[in-house]
């Protein structure tokens, strides 16, 4: 690693104790660097969005919601009797306890690797200096810290539009501790967070209406996936209204009255606005240090994640690129390798944005890696498309009408599988494995030569033989 520089208080000062920040701090300290991490949310902020108000609590609530249909489906398999009653306070309390445990794990990992953790809000003063003041969770005495390198990992924030009654809009941050449980929930938005919360609260027993201004949910995903998921969510009870929006909200004795664009109204108990996220740069002092931002406020970085100021780097959601935890982790490790050298025996890492697999934890879930059919047609020319829609074996007895979609997109010229998409149970678990194959350049012939695991849903990916569409 580079020699510690007595000119500065620390070698690396990380702002933000979320996915990217914690990973970078730990790895850099492991290479012998002096590292300070500043987190504004106190100990309870450690782990950032993913641990506290994102991936982890959302997935726990998704598990909770799945029990509703599991109890119902069990009758077909011989289980009798009334389903148990759902208790919202128990779920909230158990989630809080698990997150507190995880905050502690993060704290111990940082302490164990020798990172100095400072609780407070950090603001850049110049290219090497940060001012720390008390954050929302209290913490540090005001201080100035100098650092040879600074890493910005402050994440993102939900965006709430200005509409009459926007003070009644909730964001995804508010959904985990809602009190009371919303019997009637309106979800605004069609992205993955909106669809996931619609599925979760529908499963837990809310009457969910979802409004999305676009023609189909999950913009940017494969069109078959979008159409299929939309239809499945409706079958499960979400009142999904496309090409729709709301114009105002007022409180009445019956609840929140929501005026719909184009006429009509709804009365609900809570309104979740999940229409997008913005980089969290407020009060960060980017101007003072001369850090350049793009149109959306995202911090602009080069391929080494270096900002316009050579001593300042940025990773994760604040750079507004791919907003996923594993991507923030990969970016953090790239920065550490770049600044302090790779682990012994390894080449320095770079972050690849190709073939990033992702899942949407809706009911049913979505898993996807690689190009959509439309992208492949546009960018590769001649392709073949393999698609299968079917009722999974489990649902022959469960009574559920849920169906599964599996799809492969193959480049004709090379036979490479360039896109793999699924809507169905455990889609994320299944697609994670296939993502390795795509990353390794697997061809359709490789898929055909792979023996399926029977009886599984996943075997369909290696047994589809006849293209349903082809050409340009």
User: What does the binding site for ligand FAD look like in residue numbers (CB under 6 A)?
Assistant: 15-21, 38-41, 45, 48-50, 54-55, 58, 121-122, 153-155, 172, 193, 280, 284, 316-318, 323-326, 328
Say which of 66, 128, 395, 454 is annotated catalytic.
454
Cα R_g (the chain), whole angstroms: 24
Indicate the residue among 330 and 410 with the shorter CB distance to ligand FAD.
330
Indicate the residue among 124 and 238 with the shorter CB distance to ligand FAD.
124
Indicate the residue among 26 and 444 with the shorter CB distance to ligand FAD.
26
Distance between CA atoms of residues 367 and 430, nearest Å: 8
Distance between CA atoms of residues 49 and 282, nearest Å: 16
Closest distance of CB 19 from ligand FAD, Å: 4
Closest distance of CB 135 from ligand FAD, Å: 6
DSSP letters spanning 340-402: H-PSTT-PPP----TT--EEE-SSS-EEEEE--HHHHHHHHSSEEEEEEEE--TTHHHH----
Distance between CA atoms of residues 428 and 373, nearest Å: 19
Indicate the residue among 358 and 404 with the shorter CB distance to ligand FAD.
358
Q: Which helix (H) or strand (E) holds 144?
A: strand 143-152
Short-list 337, 310, 303, CA closest to 28: 337
Closest distance of CB 306 from ligand FAD, Å: 16
Closest distance of CB 216 from ligand FAD, Å: 21
Tokens in use for 468? 């349903």
Per the document, the length of the chain is: 472
Closest distance of CB 180 from ligand FAD, Å: 21
Indicate the residue among 233 and 328 with the shorter CB distance to ligand FAD.
328
455 secondary structure, DSSP code: T
Tokens in use for 200? 């979760």
Closest distance of CB 163 from ligand FAD, Å: 21
The reply to whether 121 belongs to the active site is: no
Q: How crowded is the C-beta side of 450, counted as CA atoms within 13 Å?
A: 18
DSSP letters spanning 165-178: TGGGEE-HHHHTT-
Cα distance from N-terminal residue to C-terminal residue, the chain: 51
Indicate the residue among 45 and 190 with the shorter CB distance to ligand FAD.
45
DSSP letters spanning 52-117: HHSHHHHHHHHHHHHHHHHHHHHGGGT--SPPPPP-HHHHHHHHHHHHHHHHHHHHHHHHHTTPEE
Closest distance of CB 50 from ligand FAD, Å: 4
Indicate the residue among 154 and 206 with the shorter CB distance to ligand FAD.
154
Q: What residue spans of 247-394 are helical by DSSP H? A: 286-289, 325-340, 373-380
Indicate the residue among 181 and 197 with the shorter CB distance to ligand FAD.
197
Helices 223-235 and 373-380: angle between axes, nearest 10 degrees: 170
14 close to 36: Cβ distance less than 8 angstroms? yes
Closest distance of CB 188 from ligand FAD, Å: 14
Give the residue numbers marked as catalytic.
454
């Amino acid at each position: 690693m580079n020699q510690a520089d007595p000119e500065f208080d620390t070698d690396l000062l990380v702002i933000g104790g979320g996915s990217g920040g914690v990973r970078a701090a730990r790895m850099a300290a492991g290479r012998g660097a002096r590292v300070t991490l500043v987190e504004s949310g106190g100990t309870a902020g450690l782990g950032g969005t993913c641990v506290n108000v994102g991936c982890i609590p959302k997935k726990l609530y998704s598990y909770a919601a799945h029990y509703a249909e599991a109890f119902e489906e069990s009758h077909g398999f011989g289980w009798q009797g009334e389903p148990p009653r759902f208790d919202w306070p128990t779920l909230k309390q158990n989630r809080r306890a698990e997150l507190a445990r995880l905050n502690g794990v993060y704290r111990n990992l940082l302490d164990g690797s020798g990172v100095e953790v400072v609780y407070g809000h950090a603001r850049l003063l110049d290219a090497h200096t940060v001012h720390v003041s008390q954050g929302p969770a209290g913490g540090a005495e005001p201080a100035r810290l100098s650092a040879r390198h600074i890493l910005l990992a402050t994440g993102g924030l939900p965006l709430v539009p200005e509409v009459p009654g926007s003070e009644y809009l909730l964001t995804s941050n508010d959904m985990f501790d809602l009190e009371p449980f919303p019997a009637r929930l309106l979800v605004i938005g069609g992205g993955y967070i909106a669809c996931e919360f619609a599925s979760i609260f529908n499963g837990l027993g809310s009457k969910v209406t979802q409004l999305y201004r676009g023609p189909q949910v999950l913009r940017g995903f494969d069109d078959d996936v979008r159409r299929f998921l939309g239809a499945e969510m409706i079958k499960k009870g979400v009142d999904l209204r496309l090409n729709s929006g709301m114009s105002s909200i007022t409180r009445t004795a019956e609840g929140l009255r929501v005026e719909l664009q184009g006429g009509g109204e709804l009365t609900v108990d809570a309104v979740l606005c999940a229409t997008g996220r913005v980089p969290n740069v407020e009060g960060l002092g980017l101007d003072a240090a001369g850090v350049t931002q793009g149109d959306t406020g995202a911090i602009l970085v080069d391929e080494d994640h270096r900002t316009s100021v050579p001593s300042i780097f940025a990773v994760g959601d604040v750079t507004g690129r791919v907003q996923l935890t594993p991507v923030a982790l990969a970016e953090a490790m790239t920065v550490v390798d770049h600044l302090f050298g790779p682990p012994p025996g390894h080449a320095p890492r770079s972050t690849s944005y190709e073939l990033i697999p992702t899942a949407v934890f809706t009911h049913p879930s979505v898993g996807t890696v690689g190009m959509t059919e439309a992208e492949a047609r546009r960018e590769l020319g001649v392709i073949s498309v393999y698609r299968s829609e079917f009722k999974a074996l489990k649902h022959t007895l469960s009574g559920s009408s849920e169906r599964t979609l599996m799809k492969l997109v193959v480049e004709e010229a090379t036979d490479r599988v360039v896109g793999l998409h699924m809507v169905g149970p455990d889609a994320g678990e299944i697609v994670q494995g296939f993502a390795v194959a795509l990353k390794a350049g697997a061809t359709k012939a490789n898929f055909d030569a792979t023996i399926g695991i029977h009886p599984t849903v996943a075997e369909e990916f290696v047994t589809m033989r006849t293209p349903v569409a082809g050409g340009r």
